[in-house]
Structure 1
Amino acid sequence: MDLTGTPMRNQLHIGIFGKRNSGKSTLINALTGNNGLSMPYVADVTTDPVYKTIEIQGIGSCVLIDTAGFDGKGQLSRRDAEGMGLAMERTDVAIIVCAGDDVGQELEWAKEFKLRKAPVIMVINKIDQISNTDKIRNKIYEALKEEPVKISAISRLGIEKVREEIVRCIPEDFEVKRIAGDLVEEGDLVLLVMVRDSQDSQNSQEEQVKQLRLQALCQLLDKGCIVVSCTPDKLGEALTGLTKPPKLIIADSEIFRQVYSKKPGDSLLTSFSVLNSR
């Protein structure tokens, strides 16, 4: 679970791949709006992949994966290679950053992702520093028959185009992996039934329950659902006050049976914890 409490496995994972010093971390800073500078480049230094949760308009919460760079001068250690492999397995959309006319390795990575049926966004970075962007573009287009996105991550040029490409490349089946994604559609009515939080207790379990509720609420709203909520003692009144039965009722696990006994026959019922484990 990441720092926001949203389980990472339910989020779109965007992997950033490229040679060392190609500007991968700077691109992530640009996408996240972070003005912080990355560590100085040292050819023999490699790091584990870094997973950073961000919000992208049109997607919602997603995870950016900043990977160790690859090139012919400094070979990845076994640990770094394993980290890169894991990052590759977790990647739903790959961004491959190019910053020089030797793009052989980048194209090999792109072809590998395509074999895995993962969308690839080719990016030419540092367009304000290098003069042969057309040559790089031609090599990429000849190999992949796709137009790369030209950017300057440090100057924030072309970053909005990268965001647009991410939205365009979201796998068609990704939505069904998200919480309640295949249970409701836009415009459906959803009722959340939740126990009142203890005023005094602040244990980790209660905090986790709060995060599960918040995650479900945010994703339902992102999907365009109509969401209402109540406590279990007000469930009868809430159902009576609705003009139609809710398509879906989501309840805390501890009151599941109580809610089941009162739910309309046509309403689906699940719990926050079950949704989280899907």
Structure 2
Amino acid sequence: MSDKAPRGVRLVIALAGRRNAGKSSLLNALTGQETAIVSDTPGTTTDPVAKHYELLPLGPVTFYDTAGLDDTGDLGGLRMKATRKVLYRSDVAVVVVGEEGVTAHERAILDMVKGLSIPCIVAFNKTDLRTPASEELALCRSLGAPCLTVCARTGAGADELKRAIIDAAPLEFRQERLLVGDLISEGDWVVCVVPIDLAAPKGRLILPQVQVLREILDCDAVAVTVKEREIEAVLAGMERKPALVVTDSQVVMSVAGDVPYDIPLTTFSTLFARYKGDLPSLVRGADAIDALEDGDTVLIGEACSHHNVADDIGRVKIPRWMTQYTGRDLRFEVYAGHDFPDDLERYRLVVHCGACMLGRTEMLRRINECARRGLPVTNYGVAISKVQGVLDRIIAPFPELRAAPFGLMDG
């Protein structure tokens, strides 16, 4: 079911355009449901409207209906800002053109989408009222955007648009991306170390742990799940060595001491750093911890908002461990949710969460934006392993890092 899929693995498709271009009607036509409110009054959609949908063969996706990018006034400016935020985290954009045709507004939207390197499709809507001119089609195609004609009122062209969205989807949505499957083989034993702390949801495991466990089972391997206090005894009682041990980053130092060096070891967060982002970049970003000075500000990036707990990993533990490791008087600021600060230049380092609630496109866009501003970025698991002195060992299982100049491997 598309509603059950984790938000961070869904393809995000944004419908953008001017007010009254028919975006809401087109969303309803694409999903076959009355998801969005439809009216002839311009500006009916004020906040982005999300609709989960199963778009085969891609699987679960999220369509976003957005406010018009030609809105006016102070409130209209806020609506357009919300639309741009949705576009920033989208994997595919559908620019909907109404009966006014391609104007400066549509050109601006296309330029914005192109600047974000988002695959784009132009949907000429309301073709029962107007046929797009050849010059408009040529203009859109010159910008690398395929063009389709649709009529949201009758549903004409909706299936063709869905096929175009499937074709435009980034490669990782059309090819399976692995968390741990390329590190293990059928029949292998994998030990997962899962501490139960205040941050763990009652009666459940956190999402990275669940996804790793599921992939181990999908690979026809054997998953053994233990708490950190049991790892030494479990390893001693196993008939053969596990192919891999995966631990929660918060206990990586103690687990590393209990797991022999001839057993590969990594963390859930490091697996997600590779799955959702660019692991080599995040490992290089961790080196910036050594260069921090008194008074430097570190941005803690959280992909989701949550209630703070007494010993919160991002707000309490990582700042404490980094301060102890560097011996510096550091400042830490937390930025939570899908937004990312505009003034990145004032930070010396970004330490990002595992991004289990972000799509890979959005996480890569954040990494690339930091790189464009000359700002190093790492993630929770990599940073924790760095300051605990076990990073070389934690990244050793990954083939793409074995020849990289990250220092000598432990052991």
> Residue type of the partner of 2:33?
N
Alignment pair present for 1:168 and 2:162: no
Aligned pairs (5 A) from 1:215-230: 215-216=211-212, 220=215, 225-226=219-220, 228-230=222-224
Q: In structure 1, what is the Cα distance between the partners aligned to 2:25 and 2:63?
A: 12
Provide the aligned length of Structure 1 versus Structure 2.
260
**Larger Rg, first or second structure (1 or 2):** 2
For the residue of structure 1 that corresponds to 2:81, the secondary structure is helix
Report the equivalent of 1:13. Answer: 12
By relative contact order (CA 8 Å, sep 6+), the higher-ranking structure is: 1
Alignment pair present for 1:140 and 2:137: yes
Are the structure 2 counterparts of residues 227 and 130 from structure 1 closer, same or farther at C-alpha, using a change threshold of 3 Å?
A: farther
Q: Given that residues 99 and 130 in structure 2 are in contact (C-alpha distance below 8 angstroms), is that contact kept between their aligned partners in structure 1?
A: no
> Residue type of the partner of 2:113?
F
Report the equivalent of 2:114. Answer: 114
Q: Given that residues 6 and 215 in structure 1 are in contact (C-alpha distance below 8 angstroms), is that contact kept between their aligned partners in structure 2?
A: no
Q: Given that residues 260 and 269 in structure 1 are in contact (C-alpha distance below 8 angstroms), is that contact kept between their aligned partners in structure 2?
A: no
Q: Given that residues 92 and 118 in structure 1 are in contact (C-alpha distance below 8 angstroms), is that contact kept between their aligned partners in structure 2?
A: yes
Q: Deviations over 1:131-173 (max 9, x none)?
A: 424x2x6513334334312233454443333333333323357
Q: Given that residues 53 and 61 in structure 2 are in contact (C-alpha distance below 8 angstroms), is that contact kept between their aligned partners in structure 1?
A: yes
For the residue of structure 2 that corresponds to 1:83, the secondary structure is helix
Are the structure 2 counterparts of residues 109 and 262 from structure 1 closer, same or farther at C-alpha, using a change threshold of 3 Å?
A: same
Find 2:201's aligned residue among 202, 205, 209: 205
Give the TM-score normalised by structure 1. Answer: 0.67
Deviation at 1:53, TM superposition (A): 4.0
Are the structure 2 counterparts of residues 195 and 118 from structure 1 closer, same or farther at C-alpha, using a change threshold of 3 Å?
A: closer
Q: In structure 1, what is the Cα distance between the partners aligned to 2:129 and 2:169?
A: 30
Q: In structure 2, what is the Cα distance between the partners aligned to 1:172 and 1:180?
A: 13
For the residue of structure 1 that corresponds to 2:69, the secondary structure is coil
Report the equivalent of 1:42. Answer: 41
Q: Given that residues 200 and 206 in structure 2 are in contact (C-alpha distance below 8 angstroms), is that contact kept between their aligned partners in structure 1?
A: no
Report the equivalent of 1:98. Answer: 97
Q: In structure 1, what is the Cα distance between the partners aligned to 2:63 and 2:99?
A: 23
Report the equivalent of 1:200. Answer: none
Report the equivalent of 2:225. Answer: 231
Are the structure 2 counterparts of residues 138 and 101 from structure 1 closer, same or farther at C-alpha, using a change threshold of 3 Å?
A: farther
Are the structure 2 counterparts of residues 240 and 175 from structure 1 closer, same or farther at C-alpha, using a change threshold of 3 Å?
A: farther
Deviation at 1:96, TM superposition (A): 0.5
Which sits farther off after the overlay, 106-115 or 151-160?
151-160
Report the equivalent of 2:354. Answer: 277
Q: In structure 1, what is the Cα distance between the partners aligned to 2:97 and 2:56?
A: 25
For the residue of structure 1 that corresponds to 2:13, the secondary structure is strand
> Residue type of the partner of 2:157?
G
Which sits farther off after the overlay, 256-265 or 10-19?
256-265
Deviation at 1:4, TM superposition (A): 4.9
Structure 2: runs of 5 or more not aligned: 273-352, 356-411
> Residue type of the partner of 1:277?
G
Deviation at 1:195, TM superposition (A): 6.2
Q: Given that residues 216 and 272 in structure 1 are in contact (C-alpha distance below 8 angstroms), is that contact kept between their aligned partners in structure 2?
A: no
Give the TM-score normalised by structure 2. Answer: 0.49
> Residue type of the partner of 1:229?
A
For the residue of structure 2 that corresponds to 1:231, the secondary structure is strand
Q: In structure 1, what is the Cα distance between the partners aligned to 2:183 and 2:156?
A: 35
Q: Given that residues 48 and 83 in structure 1 are in contact (C-alpha distance below 8 angstroms), is that contact kept between their aligned partners in structure 2?
A: yes
Report the equivalent of 2:84. Answer: 85
Deviation at 1:109, TM superposition (A): 1.0
What is the identity percentage for the equivalent residue pairs of Structure 1 and Structure 2? 22
> Residue type of the partner of 1:144?
R
Q: Given that residues 213 and 272 in structure 1 are in contact (C-alpha distance below 8 angstroms), is that contact kept between their aligned partners in structure 2?
A: no
Are the structure 2 counterparts of residues 209 and 167 from structure 1 closer, same or farther at C-alpha, using a change threshold of 3 Å?
A: same
Q: Given that residues 90 and 118 in structure 2 are in contact (C-alpha distance below 8 angstroms), is that contact kept between their aligned partners in structure 1?
A: yes
